[in-house]
Structure 1
Amino acid sequence: MVDANQTFVIVGGGLAGAKAAETLRQEGFTGRVILICDEREHPYERPPLSKGYLTGRDARDSVFVHKPDWYAKADVELHLGQPAVHLDRAAKTVRLGDGTLVHYDKLLLATGAEPRRLDIPGTGLAGVHHLRRLAHAERLRGVLSSLGRDNGHLVIAGAGWIGLEVAAAARGYGAEVTVVEPEPTPLHTVLGPELGQLFTDLHAEHGVRFHFGARLAEIAGHDGMVLAARTDDGEEHPAHDVLAAIGAAPRTALAEAAGLALVDRADGGGIAVDASLRTSDPDIYAAGDVAAAEHPWLGTRLRVEHWANALNEGPAAARAMLGQEVSYDRVPYFFSDQYDVGMEYSGYAPPGSYDQVVCRGDVGKREFIAFWLAEGRVLAGMNVNVWDVTEDIQKLIRAGARPDPDALADPSVPLRSFVP
């Protein structure tokens, strides 16, 4: 039975919000739990939108965090299709789009992120797409299928994870694909030049064309339809559709209007939270893509836009809301699937933070592990088509291990032997 004396409100119907609601009930919270979702869909996970669901391998129902009847069974009050438009910290209320006022004792902001928009002529044409929501994936799935049937062209702005995964999906349908990227390799700011070339070669083998060192400058069309994409270096690519995959921006408008502390965009943006995921207001927490959290052992503030972070931060925030001692210190982790290549990345090694990359295994066959090192210490590791090693890689990172590089590159030496 629900005890109405306490009300915990969660704003955001993604993975972080849904797992936070689940955790509150698992931890024995008997008060009201209200989950506010601005989409009409039940909370769902986002990786399938550019992976299994987009390729047609997975069914639509596979994306949802819980079955629809779970919320009623768990006494979670679900507000679908209702954006939160105003937060009054003094009154401790959230106003919804229809004017409803919802009181909270504790509040979790899990508002996620939204795709960055191209600021160029032609973005209003019918064939310009973004990929963030289930509705976007449904539309894009139909587009890719049509392009494949008609030998159509897709131009993708951005060679990050979303851009590359959509490129792989598009080639699977038979569409022609050109990727425009200002950096010299895909994933340049994530993996650096050492590993970025791997993804250039992988996609080129599958027929993807790259145009590096340029940005889209204009999308040309006729009668509302896309005809071509022009770059800032004067080239023109035929296009029937264009995908903007130039990153995502944390959805901080609600927090900003309420006066919560934020992080500058130059530093990654997001709502500033401590290691317990508490904001500058002691009764308000943030988790998932929108939260920029102080990381206890990395000694820096991180905002991570990946599935594992939402999966784990939502429950951590829920426990902190219940008064439990929480210090969110997980090793950052993400994964990607492109064609027959699967990879997992653990750690944090932004450009300029490392001085050496060590690979063990067969890079040519794309069966290897790469390690990013700074003064001998392992900062990050990426396993490519090598499995069941993530735990060992994360132990190396946590331990601050400084293995001999030659031994680290030798597959016959067990990874766990490097853990101090």
Structure 2
Amino acid sequence: MIVGASAAGVTVADALRHGGHQGDLTLVGAEPHLPYDRPPLSKELMGEPVALREPGHYERSGIDLLLGTPAVALDPASRLVRLAGGRELPYDALVIATGVGPRRLPGAERLAGMHVLRTLDDAAGLRADLAKARRVLIVGAGFLGAEAAASCRGLGLDVTLVDPQPAPAAAALGTAVGGVLAAAHAENGVDLRLGLGVRQIVADDGRVAGAVLTDGARVAADVVLVAIGCRPATDWLAGSGLPLGDGVEADATCRVAPDVYAAGDVASWRHPDHGRLRVEHRTNATEQAEHVAAAILGAPAPFRPVPYVWSDQYGVRLQAWGVTGAAHDVAVVAGSLADGRFVALYGRDGRVTGAVGRRMAKALRQARELVAAGAPWAEAVRAGPDRAMMPAPTDQRTTPARSTT
């Protein structure tokens, strides 16, 4: 049984079939829709949803879809999953792939014009409001908020982007690299209110009318999109006895408990090089799901990816490999931040842990090799991305502190 009709959940099911599993496969989804891809929801606000598989795929593959039936409890001792409505389903092996849910601003959820963006229904509601709007306030300038701001500007809307950090995506990229995104938004007419939060949402007759920021300024808005991060969807696991922290805590092979595994955004696993990680990115969902399927089929191994994420804003793709964060060492090794064409390395404890690039695809591919090798920081920065650094022997490598990616 796979709980979560997500990219990770669907990939686990397909990988099990491709790997030779002939038994029952049940895929449980909280939403009533056929499984769909989530990244286009923010990257292409007015685009059509993208199905993960064609409708007939599941029947042909012998995958039993239970949609619109969220799981509400798990009893690992009895190997039972309880669904909304009381139905209980047994399993021999369980994969938890329930993803994450959006954080919300308290007290304003019921106002017309207030939105979060995680599900297909969220996107449909936001699109309907944007079609009638002139002014949009986006609270949160992480990747989702920044992508939504770029999409709204492409629709000709007035956009105000608010975030307490000094630059967009600063928690993941740091202030200097995040400043490149800030410059792109400013050049495209976004009203940036960085270093500020929202003190109060302003309403008029049950509909959002704007917000008062922490500096006292009032911003008018017809639509407010809240993009202040997500939390792992683990509430249904309360009382299960599974280790829950920032997600479902798994070992290096993504095993949580006997015959219980986790994959995708909800999974926190012990990366052999970087310690405990939880990665909310599409590529990781697919790679981790394939890894979990292999473990179920009898080939468990440490999951050791080089995490990858991309963000499209104003027709330019920013790409990141590995583990990055505001607390990491950062060095631009090709191009320049001022030109918006660069490759930057990120490091911790004397090793390269990540690389971010924009408009320099070849140099970024070379930098990825430094990330994969865990190259010595000083040598990598001195040499730049065009000379691959050899990794130190395994017993000499250090383990960086927990990532903020």
Residues 343 and 357, structure 2, Cα contact 8 Å, conserved in 1: yes
- Look up the match of 1:135: 121
* Counterpart check, 1:310 vs 2:292: no
Q: Distance in 1 between matches of 2:323 and 2:303?
A: 15
Distance 2:183 2:305 in 1: 32
Is the contact made by 1:230 and 1:236 (CA closer than 8 Å) also made in structure 2? yes
2:183 corresponds to which residue? Answer: 201
Task: Pick one of 262, 267, 270 that aligns with 1:294.
Answer: 270
Q: Determine whether 1:98 maps to 2:85.
A: yes
Unmatched 5+ stretches in structure 1: 1-8, 264-268, 409-413
Matched, 1:64 2:46: no
1:27 equivalent in alignment to 2:9: no
Moved more, 283-292 or 135-144: 135-144
TM-score using structure 1 length: 0.89
Q: Report the 3-state secondary structure (helix = DSSP H, G, I; strand = E; otherwise coil) of the residue aligned with 2:265.
A: helix
Q: Which residue matches 2:394?
A: none
Query: 1:146 aligns to what SS in structure 2?
Result: coil
Q: Aligned pair in 2 of structure 1 residues 76, 404: CA closer, same or farther (>3 Å)?
A: closer
The Cα shift of 1:17 comes to 0.1
State the shift of 1:270 in Å: 0.6
**How many residues are aligned here?**
389
Residue equivalent to 2:230? 248
**Are residue 159 (structure 1) and residue 146 (structure 2) matched?**
no
Aligned with 2:174: secondary structure?
helix
Q: Please identify, of 385-394 and 307-316, the stretch whose mean Cα deviation from structure 2 is larger.
A: 385-394
Amino acid in the other structure paired with 2:84: G
Alpha-carbon distance in structure 2 between the residues aligned to 1:260 and 1:347: 28
1:342 matched to which residue of 2? 317
CA distance in 1, matches of 2:387, 2:37: 32
The superposition leaves residues 349-372 of structure 1 with CA deviations (integer Å, 9 ceiling, x where unpaired) of 333232x42231243332221112
After superposition, give the CA deviation of every residue in 1:71-105 in whole Å (9 maximum; x if it has no partner): 00000000011111121212211121132221100
Overall identity of the aligned pairs, in %: 40
Residues 17-416 of structure 1 aligned to structure 2 (within 5 Å) = 17-52=9-44, 54-56=45-47, 59-60=48-49, 63-119=50-106, 121-147=107-133, 152-263=134-245, 269-279=246-256, 281-298=257-274, 300-354=275-329, 356-374=330-348, 377-387=351-361, 391-402=365-376, 403-408=379-384, 415-416=386-387
C-alpha separation in 1, matches of 2:294 and 2:260: 13
> Structure 1 residues 389 and 10, CA, compared in 2 at 3 Å: closer, same or farther?
farther
What's the offset of the Cα at 1:136?
A: 1.2
- The residue type equivalent to 1:26 in the other structure is H
SS, match of residue 36 in structure 2? coil
Counterpart residue identity of residue 224, structure 1: G
Q: Which whole-Å CA distance do the structure 2 matches of 1:376 and 1:276 have between them?
A: 26
CA 1:380–1:122: 2 relative to 1, 3 Å: same
| Residue 109 (structure 1) shift | 0.5
User: Which structure 1 residue ranges, 4+ long, deviate > 6 Å from structure 2?
Assistant: none
> What CA RMSD, in Å, does the superposition of the two structures yield over aligned residues?
1.7
